[in-house]
């Protein structure tokens, strides 16, 4: 047997179940052994990781890299570099913000071609819109790992009404896949926003007043009712409020196959930050009150969240400053994937006692399980891909724009102070990022395809063991 390539030793390891002192032996692209304690192991190279955390590389379930068509907003080259810098070794890219959106085989082929430059591994979402029910099977054959629909109007991505959602859920369930929804109520947000605009409101608070928690809850209720009626799997993305999580938890308790996602920005910022920072902190659903943010943390700490994802949604700086005096004129979306881990380490682990194993569950193992590739990703397990992140938990830094690998280096997190910094990111055995520098080559990333039309229910069984 050949000598393994690398032994990272004497780190604090965290899996989704436990934290312990140990090491990882890497042979080729895989984890050869998960070691407990600090014994000797033969290896070509070894890294003494005393004092560092060693986690499975994060799986970001929700990013918008805007290619094809809007590579000037982000692109797979810069987006995947930022992922690596943030300790993310797999990301799942959304079907919208690109042009064309990913709603049929032809647009999926364009997306797959654009993604080939990625520095880390990735998978792709397919889109459900108002006129593509006949194209879902070709998306499934093409390898998408899930489907995304909007219950509210979005740029370039037609909203799905109740009829489309139901028909889409039924079809997607037959594939053994699942539907993710952006849950805000169309009628309520349109009516409230129109009234605010008619009264001359353009200020930052007006953004959130047009998209209240009630609008989010109404849409969550509707989506859950449809999942319950069809028996389909449902994932609610970027839940911004505790009551939304409570609806999902209650549905889970009565057997509905639904999972909950929230984002670091709902845990780090509140509406006062939108007022202070301006359009760079505009997103939908909007940032909520400080009390709401704390209540959402309670749900995180209670273990009620399945996935924390960045919802990285970049744009040109001018598309943010356009809203300086008219919040409605700004692009809505926060650039954040490089900051997920620092946010959760600082605000979660350090400030609120979030367990490291829970951080790993929500950012790595949980999302990998959602998409059905948890045999290879999001785990510290012999045989799994050697996707790892080494973190210095004591390193303090203030995020500066020049630290960002985004094509447009702006973010609501610029100026924020963090404790806990990514030191090294390893993708399938290769160090791709180290101490501020990208090392791995463009194109190193490989696509993770879904089960296609063959393997219907196996991923569902893993997710919802009964």
Residues 109-128 that bind Zn ion (CB under 5 A): none
Alpha carbon distance 36, 22 (integer Å): 4
- The least distance separating Zn ion from the CB of residue 116, rounded to whole angstroms, comes to 22
Contacting range for Zn ion; rule: CB under 5 A; set: 119-127, 239-247, 293-301, 306-314: 306-314
Among candidate residues 315, 412, 331, 368, the one with its CA nearest the CA of residue 15: 368
- The least distance separating Zn ion from the CB of residue 62, rounded to whole angstroms, comes to 6
Q: Which two tokens stand for residue 228?
A: 């319950």
Nearer to Zn ion, 88 or 390 (CB): 88
- The least distance separating Zn ion from the CB of residue 294, rounded to whole angstroms, comes to 24
Contacting range for Zn ion; rule: CB under 5 A; set: 47-55, 287-295, 307-315, 408-416: 307-315
Task: Compute φ and ψ for 90, nearest 5 degrees.
Answer: -145, 140
Task: Compute φ and ψ for 28, nearest 5 degrees.
Answer: 65, -125
Alpha carbon distance 282, 272 (integer Å): 12
- The least distance separating Zn ion from the CB of residue 148, rounded to whole angstroms, comes to 8
Contacting range for Zn ion; rule: CB under 5 A; set: 224-232, 264-272, 304-312, 401-409: 304-312
- The least distance separating Zn ion from the CB of residue 333, rounded to whole angstroms, comes to 7
Alpha carbon distance 45, 401 (integer Å): 34
Nearer to Zn ion, 154 or 432 (CB): 154
Nearer to Zn ion, 63 or 165 (CB): 63
Give all strands (DSSP E) within 144-267, no chain letters: 147-150, 179-182, 234-236, 258-262
Nearer to Zn ion, 226 or 334 (CB): 334
Q: Report which DSSP code applies to 155.
A: T
Alpha carbon distance 437, 6 (integer Å): 20
Nearer to Zn ion, 47 or 260 (CB): 260
Give all strands (DSSP E) within 69-130, no chain letters: 88-93, 121-124, 126-127
Among candidate residues 327, 334, 345, the one with its CA nearest the CA of residue 406: 334
- The least distance separating Zn ion from the CB of residue 118, rounded to whole angstroms, comes to 18
Q: Which residues pair with 11 in a beta bridge?
A: 22
Nearer to Zn ion, 64 or 424 (CB): 64
Nearer to Zn ion, 127 or 323 (CB): 127
- The least distance separating Zn ion from the CB of residue 391, rounded to whole angstroms, comes to 26
- The least distance separating Zn ion from the CB of residue 448, rounded to whole angstroms, comes to 19
Q: Please tell me the count of residues contacting Zn ion according to CB under 5 A.
A: 1
Among candidate residues 442, 438, 443, the one with its CA nearest the CA of residue 338: 438
Alpha carbon distance 95, 180 (integer Å): 11
The count of C-alpha atoms lying within 13 angstroms of the C-alpha of 1, restricted to the half-sphere facing its C-beta, is 8
Question: Can you tell me which of 77, 184, 311, 374 binds Zn ion, judged by CB under 5 A?
Answer: 311
3-state secondary structure of 364: helix
Q: Which residue has the tokens 């045989």?
A: 383
Q: Which residue is nearest to Zn ion (CB)?
A: 311
- The least distance separating Zn ion from the CB of residue 66, rounded to whole angstroms, comes to 11
Contacting range for Zn ion; rule: CB under 5 A; set: 37-45, 118-126, 305-313, 380-388: 305-313
Contacting range for Zn ion; rule: CB under 5 A; set: 85-93, 108-116, 301-309, 311-319: 311-319
Give all strands (DSSP E) within 97-205, no chain letters: 121-124, 126-127, 147-150, 179-182
Alpha carbon distance 25, 9 (integer Å): 8
74 is a contact residue toward Zn ion (CB under 5 A): no
Contacting range for Zn ion; rule: CB under 5 A; set: 159-167, 308-316, 352-360, 426-434: 308-316
Contacting range for Zn ion; rule: CB under 5 A; set: 82-90, 101-109, 309-317, 399-407: 309-317
Nearer to Zn ion, 93 or 311 (CB): 311
Residues that bind Zn ion (CB under 5 A): 311
């Amino acid at each position: 047997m050949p000598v393994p390539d690398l032994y990272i030793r004497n780190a604090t390891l965290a899996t989704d179940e436990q934290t312990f002192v140990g090491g990882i032996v890497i042979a080729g692209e895989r984890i050869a052994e998960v070691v407990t304690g600090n014994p000797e192991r033969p290896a070509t190279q070894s890294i003494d990781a005393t004092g560092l955390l060693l986690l499975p590389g994060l799986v970001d379930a929700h990013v918008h890299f805007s290619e094809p068509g809007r590579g000037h907003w982000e692109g797979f080259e810069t987006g995947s570099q930022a992922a690596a810098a943030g300790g993310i070794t797999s990301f799942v890219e959304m079907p919208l913000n690109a042009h064309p959106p990913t709603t049929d085989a032809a647009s999926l082929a364009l997306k797959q071609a654009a993604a080939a430059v990625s520095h880390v591994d990735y998978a792709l979402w397919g889109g459900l819109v108002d006129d593509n029910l006949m194209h879902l099977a070709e998306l499934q054959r093409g390898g998408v790992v899930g489907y995304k629909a909007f219950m509210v109007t979005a740029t370039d991505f037609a909203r799905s009404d109740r009829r489309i959602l139901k028909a889409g859920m039924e079809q997607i369930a037959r594939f053994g896949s699942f539907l993710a929804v952006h849950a805000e109520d169309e009628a309520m947000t349109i009516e409230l926003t129109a009234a605010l605009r008619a009264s001359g409101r353009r200020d930052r608070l007006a953004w959130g007043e047009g998209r209240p928690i009630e609008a989010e809850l109404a849409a969550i209720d509707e989506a859950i009712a449809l999942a319950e009626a069809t028996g389909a799997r449902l994932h609610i993305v970027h839940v911004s409020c505790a009551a939304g999580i409570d609806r999902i938890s209650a549905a889970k308790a009565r057997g509905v196959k639904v999972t909950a996602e929230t984002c670091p920005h709902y845990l780090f910022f509140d509406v006062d930050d939108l007022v202070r920072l301006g359009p760079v902190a505009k997103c939908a659903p909007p940032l909520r009150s400080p009390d709401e943010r704390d209540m959402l943390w309670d749900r995180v700490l209670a273990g009620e969240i399945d996935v924390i994802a960045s919802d990285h949604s970049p744009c040109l700086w001018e598309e943010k400053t356009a809203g300086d005096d008219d919040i409605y004129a700004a692009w809505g979306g926060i650039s954040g994937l490089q900051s997920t881990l620092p946010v959760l380490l600082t605000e979660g682990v350090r400030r609120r006692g979030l367990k490291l194993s829970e951080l790993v569950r929500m950012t790595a193992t949980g999302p990998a399980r959602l998409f059905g590739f948890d045999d290879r990703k999001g785990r510290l397990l012999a045989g799994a891909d050697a996707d790892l992140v080494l973190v210095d938990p004591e390193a303090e830094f203030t995020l500066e724009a020049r630290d960002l690998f985004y094509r447009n280096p702006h973010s609501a997190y610029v100026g924020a102070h963090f404790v806990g910094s990514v030191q090294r990111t390893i993708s399938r055995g290769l160090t791709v990022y180290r101490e501020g520098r990208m090392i791995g080559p463009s194109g190193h990333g490989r696509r993770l395809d879904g089960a296609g039309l063959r393997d219907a229910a196996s991923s569902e069984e893993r997710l919802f063991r009964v």
